[in-house]
Structure formats: C-alpha cells, structure tokens
Chains A and B, each alone.
Chain A
C-alpha cells in the first residue's frame, strides 16, 4: 500500500471517548482504524489521508483530524488568491479530482 509523507497527518484519536461502535473502522478507506478489543485503535497514522470520514462519523467526538483537500493546485490557488483552498473540479477544468 502506498504511503505519503511520514508524520504529517493531523489525525488524533481519543481512546477514552471511544465507545467501540467501530464506525471509523467501517468508513476509513485506508484502514487506519482497527478493532482492538472493545474499542477502536489506530494502526498506522501515516496511512491517513485526512479525508475526515472518521471524524464526521464518530458520534462521540473521539476523533479529530484537520480534513481538507490534499490537492496541490487547490492549495496553490488558495495561496495566490488568499482564499480557502477548494477543489477546482466544479469551477474549471484543472487536473484536480
């Protein structure tokens, strides 16, 4: 499995708040979470692409991640225009998405 840069993901998991519903295990497309006994656990944080699916589907606030588009052209456009980086898919024909 391909991994992106080491140690950059902002994923934070609070095991205390976890109730073991395993929704994060279900929804993560990179298998960052696994069932560990009655609670979830992080397998390898470097697999995380910060899509934010886990945080949004955690009803107990146990997961925090600085989700956003991992897209260089969106970030560069954001830098140039001083706006928030948005994926350009719907506005122009840039290569994003």
Chain B
C-alpha cells in the first residue's frame, strides 16, 4: 500500500542546527557529521509517494554496513502526527515505543561467503552468532511476512539471501548460535523462545496479520498450537530449504511434497565431511604416534629402520581408514550395502585396506602379525568413524543408532583387544620370545 504525504509531519522535521539532526539517529548524524542529514536520511520528501516503512530507512548508501536502528521517531504530539506515525513512519511496540529493528541486505558479500566456508570447516561456526531480535529485509510494511530464524549466522544468511527482492521481516530467535535443525532438537529453537521474541519485538504491533513462517525443520522444537494460544500468531511451516521460500509464498503458503521433504544428496553429504574428518584427525594423530613408538622399540633399542618399514605403512593405512570412514562412506552412502552405518563403514574400510595391503605389496613387507592387525583394526576404525556420521545425516533416528551401538560396541571392544594382542604377539616374535 502506498500513501502520500501533504506535509512532512511526525518524525520528519528538519534539524534545527547541523549538529542535532532532529530526533533522527541517522548513521551520519551519530557518526558526528556536520551535514544536516535528517531531511534526506529519515524523512520522505514532500509529496513523494512513500511506502509505509520508508521513513525509518535511509537509502542504502548511507547505512553503516547494514545496520540501522529505527528510533528516528519521537512520541506523537498531535492527533494528526499520531495518525501519520501509526501508518507512515513508526511502528509502535507493545511498550508504546517504536519497534526496534535492523535492516539487513539480501546480498551476501565476499566476507559473508568466506565466513560460511570457515563455518563448514571448523570451530568458527560456534562463534558465528548474530543478535536475536527483529530484522527487516527490503522495505517491509505491516502486511509483510514474518520469517523466524535461528541466530546462527549461516542460517540467517541463507534466509536473508533467499529473500532477495522481497520485503519481509525476520524474527531471529536466541538459539545460542546453533542452526535451526539442531536447536529445534535441543528445544532452544522452540515454542517458549518464539513466544518470548514475539513479545520482545512487539510483533503484534509491527504487523497487522497474525501469521509467522517457521522453517519446517524447526518443527521438532515448536508447538504451533501453543504459540497460537500464547500469542495469537498462527504458525505456518515453511519449506525445508530456504531457497524454496519465494515459491512457497507465491503459491499461497503451499509447499510441494518436494519442498517438504528433507534430502541428503551428494552435495549435502560432502559439505558435512570436514566436520567428520576434523575430530577423526585428533585420534589419528594419537594412533600414529603410538604406532611409530611401538614398532620402533626393538631389542637393539630404537630402530629408525622399523619405524620406516612398518610405522610409515601403518600410519598410511590409518590415514586411509580416516578417509574411508569420514569421507568415502558419507559420499557414497546410498550405494554402500546395508542400512547400518557401522556396517557401511566396515565394508568401505575392507574395500580400502585390502587393496592397500596386497596391491602395494605391503602385506609382504609388514610382519604377518601386523598384517593381521591391519585387517582387524582399520576396517573397524573406518566403521566407528562412519558411525559418527549418524549425527550429521538427516534420516537416522535415536532408536536405530542405539541398536547399532548395542551390536557395534561389543564388536569394537573385541576388535580393539584382538588388535592389541596381535601387536603384542608381533613384539614377542620380534624379540624372539615366541
């Protein structure tokens, strides 16, 4: 809806002097600019058609980065002013203060994308948080849609970039910097937090409709009917993927079966593998150290020859087991026989260890006891690492993982004992005791 101003009223008074730019906390004014900025940054020009929320939003170029607060408006002095403010300038919150929100761009900058890569690769993802609260994309009005998001930067960025060209509100919950799906599982992306943030943002005064769009993957934490009972807002579940949001809204809040289904295709799986490899590498480093020390200790003292001949092969086989469990198994997940992740990982481990031992001739170089050890230990290590991928997969449930562990853990313990016995036997042979 467009409205026209006859006169600039309400918040839109020019500054009395250059240093106090009216009531507007425009970026330039707060940055100590000597220019009178209020007339251009805060207010609509006379007789110009303006959208409802145009007043608090200066042009993009004047934004410090992407953030702008909307406290440009004073409480209304006259009835006319009050009317204009209600419709044209400020959105009062529950407390009678103007609702505060920040405007964000739908464009992902180079540094945003760099942050996303760092999130995927490592522990940085735990510190990529944004402030919870209300955000504006484009120039939303009181009829614009409200999307709920988590305060994990990556989740928020994917949502805002999916809203390019739209005018919408984003209400960000405090999920402790965790993505929607995981936070919903914990309950931090949940009913209580939605109710709390709706209250804090004064959402009831920001929009006239009573509808919030919650990502479908937030479902495990959100009780739609409880949110409605507490706030009056109806929860509409959006599609699984933010990239489908526009099509979803355009179709009248109807998601196709495709949009409602969580996928786990090759790209989805590959992008998760760095976070499988990372924790596995810690144990791999420990394994490599122990392997090198164990083979080096000979009756004649520390042997570099043994460290090289045996140790280097064991370390390489160990690396292969990590790749097998943390990368090959996730990547080829649907094509590896069995539904069990532990069995999948074991098969992949066998498929990598056997050629590595026999096609390279390592089986002849290694002591028979070490070859035996390799055949037991590395496929089981691959299996154990692959089992960890249940935490990243989108279709494994707790009952199934419990079942895998019920059968798997005794096998892993037995395998570990046999491996230790094999290494001990190798040492005893080497030392001529057996």
Interface residues of A (CB under 8 A from B): 1-6, 8-10, 23, 26-31, 47-54, 56-57, 59, 66-76, 79, 85-90, 93-97
Would you give the shortest CB distance from A32 to chain B, in whole angstroms?
Answer: 11
Q: Is the CB of A95 within 8 A of B389?
A: yes
Q: Decide: A48 near B397, CB < 8 A? Known: A29-B262, A75-B402, A95-B276.
A: yes
Nearest 7 CB-CB pairings of A with B? A53-B219, A71-B391, A50-B397, A96-B391, A68-B398, A29-B262, A97-B182
Would you give the shortest CB distance from B350 to chain A, in whole angstroms?
Answer: 20
Would you give the shortest CB distance from A59 to chain B, in whole angstroms?
Answer: 4
A-B contact pairs, 27 of them (CB 8 A): A1-B261, A4-B400, A5-B403, A8-B399, A9-B400, A10-B399, A23-B224, A29-B216, A29-B240, A29-B260, A29-B394, A31-B257, A53-B216, A53-B220, A56-B222, A57-B224, A68-B398, A72-B404, A73-B391, A75-B401, A86-B186, A88-B391, A90-B176, A94-B388, A95-B278, A95-B279, A96-B392
Q: Inside 8 A of A97's CB, which chain B residues have their CB?
A: 178-179, 181-182, 185, 391-392
Interface residues of B (CB under 8 A from A): 122-123, 126, 176-179, 181-182, 184-186, 191, 216-217, 219-225, 237, 240, 255, 257, 260-262, 264, 275-276, 278-280, 326, 333-334, 339-341, 387-405
Q: Decide: A4 near B405, CB < 8 A? Known: A27-B237, A29-B262, A96-B391.
A: no
Q: By DSSP majority rule, is chain A's interface helix, strand, loop, or mixed?
A: loop
Q: Is the CB of A3 within 8 A of B222?
A: no
Highest count of chain A CB atoms <10 Å: which of B221, B255, B257, B279: B279
Q: Which of B219, B222, B237, B398 contacts A70 (CB 8 A)?
A: B398
Q: Is the CB of B405 within 8 A of A76?
A: yes
Residue of B nearest to A26 (CB): B237
Would you give the shortest CB distance from B252 to chain A, in whole angstroms?
Answer: 14
Q: Inside 8 A of B398's CB, which chain A residues have their CB?
A: 50, 66-70, 75, 85
Q: Inside 8 A of A2's CB, which chain B residues have their CB?
A: 264, 333-334, 395
Docked pose: A91 CA to B275 CA in angstroms: 14
Would you give the shortest CB distance from B254 to chain A, in whole angstroms?
Answer: 10
Would you give the shortest CB distance from A70 to chain B, in whole angstroms?
Answer: 4
Q: Is the CB of A90 within 8 A of B401?
A: no
Residue of B nearest to A93 (CB): B123
Q: Inside 8 A of B126's CB, which chain A residues have their CB?
A: 89-90, 93
Docked pose: A79 CA to B401 CA in angstroms: 13
Q: Inside 8 A of A30's CB, which chain B residues have their CB?
A: 261-262, 395
Would you give the shortest CB distance from B403 to chain A, in whole angstroms?
Answer: 6
Residue of A nearest to B190 (CB): A56
Q: Is the CB of B391 within 8 A of A3?
A: no
Docked pose: A28 CA to B397 CA in angstroms: 13
Q: Inside 8 A of B240's CB, which chain A residues have their CB?
A: 29
Docked pose: A75 CA to B398 CA in angstroms: 9
Q: Is the CB of A49 within 8 A of B260?
A: no
Q: Which of B176, B222, B255, B397 contacts A4 (CB 8 A)?
A: B397
Q: Is the CB of B219 within 8 A of A93?
A: no
Would you give the shortest CB distance from A21 to chain B, in whole angstroms?
Answer: 9
Q: Which of A49, A72, A88 contacts B405 (CB 8 A)?
A: A72
Q: Inside 8 A of A51's CB, which chain B residues have their CB?
A: 184-185, 219-220, 397
Q: Is the CB of B225 within 8 A of A49?
A: no
